[in-house]
Amino acid sequence: MVMDINQQFRRNVRVFYAWIGSTLLLGVGPFVAFQLIERETTASKVAGVVVGVGSMLPWIAVVVTIVRRGDEFVRRMHLIAIAIAAAASLLMLVTVDWLQRARFIESVDLVVIWPACLVLWLIALVGTKHYYERER
């Protein structure tokens, strides 16, 4: 399928706005979920869990769309960044677990952990991009 430059630009702008919107939803979703869970009814707790998890799904879908539409270079960057971020996130989780077991730190709220995982992914993506651009 051949697209002219105007169609490609419009598609990229739509994907960019979808990414911005999904990132905002990713940030706001947990606060709404907390409010629902604090109501202490079973229905509101279920709704809180659904909103908390559901607020992540659009962001994941947009990132998958970006990767699928990308060329081999973009796909390679994302694959390597995701692998680095997964390894770093696992290392962070294991470290926090051992620190808690040794009673060096109190229990860590997982709401702090998942944004840290996203930041690790972003750092890995920027670092991977820098590495491959330097190599070219």
- Kindly state the average pLDDT of the residues 7-13: 83
Indicate the DSSP class of residue 2: -
Encoded tokens for 20: 């911005």
Q: What pLDDT band is residue 2 in, cutting at 50, 70 and 90? A: low
Output the pLDDT for position 84: 93
Tell me the HSE value of 95 on the side-chain side, using a 13 A CA sphere.
7
Encoded tokens for 76: 């390679």
pLDDT in tens, 17-73: 998 999 899 889 989 999 999 998 999 999 999 999 999 999 999 988 888 888 888
* CB-based contact 87:122 (threshold 8 Å): no
Cβ neighbours of residue 77 under 8 Å, at least 6 residues apart? 125, 128, 129, 132
Q: Is residue 9 predicted with pLDDT exceeding 90? A: no
Output the pLDDT for position 51: 94
User: Residue 84 and residue 17: Cα distance in Å, rounded?
Assistant: 26
- Kindly state the average pLDDT of the residues 101-110: 88
